[in-house]
Amino acid sequence: MMTIRPRTLLALCGLITAAAVQAQPMMQGGILTDATGRTLYTFDKDQPNKSSCQGPCAQNWPAYTAEPAAGAKPAPEASRFEREGAQQWAWTGKPLYYFAGDTKPGDRNGDGRNGVWHIVQPMAAASSTSPAGKAPASTY
C-alpha cells in the first residue's frame, strides 16, 4: 500500500490547481510567478530548454506546465518546450518549476536550496542566499 505524505499531497493539490490555471509566467512582487502568485524557480543543472530534474527531484520540484491564456502575449523571455508529453515553461531558456515546500502564493522557501535552485528576479545576480536552516538533506 502506498502512503502519501502530507507535503506531497499539498504539492499534488497545487499541481492540479496550476494545471487548471491558464497563464504564462509573469512578474509579481519582483519575482516570477504563475497567475495565482505561486513562486517559480530555475535549476542550475538544467540545459537550455531541457530539464535535468527527474525522479525524486521532480517530486520536490514539479514542472510548471500551465496552458497559455487565450489571446495573451507572453513576455519575450517566456517560452515552452516538450517534456514527458507536456509543455514546460522556460524563462530565457531555463525550465521553470514549483517547490513542493511552498504551500501558498508568495512562499519562497525553495530559493537558494542546495545552492542550485533560484527564484527568477529581474536583473538579479545568478546567486541567491539560502534561508537559514532550511536546506534539505538531498540535492533536490
pLDDT digits (tens, 9 = 90+) for 42-63: 999 999 999 999 999 999 999 9
> Could you tell me if residue 138 is inside a domain?
no
> Could you tell me if residue 3 is inside a domain?
no
> Could you tell me if residue 37 is inside a domain?
yes
What does the pLDDT read at residue 132?
36
> Could you tell me if residue 11 is inside a domain?
no
* Cα-to-chain-centroid distance, residue 63: 6
Per the structure, the complete domain to which residue 91 belongs is given by 26-66+76-119
Single-letter amino acid code for the residue at 62: P
> Could you tell me if residue 136 is inside a domain?
no
**What band does 16 get if pLDDT is binned at 50, 70 and 90?**
very low
CA distance 65 to 10: 17
Task: Count the domains in the chain.
Answer: 1
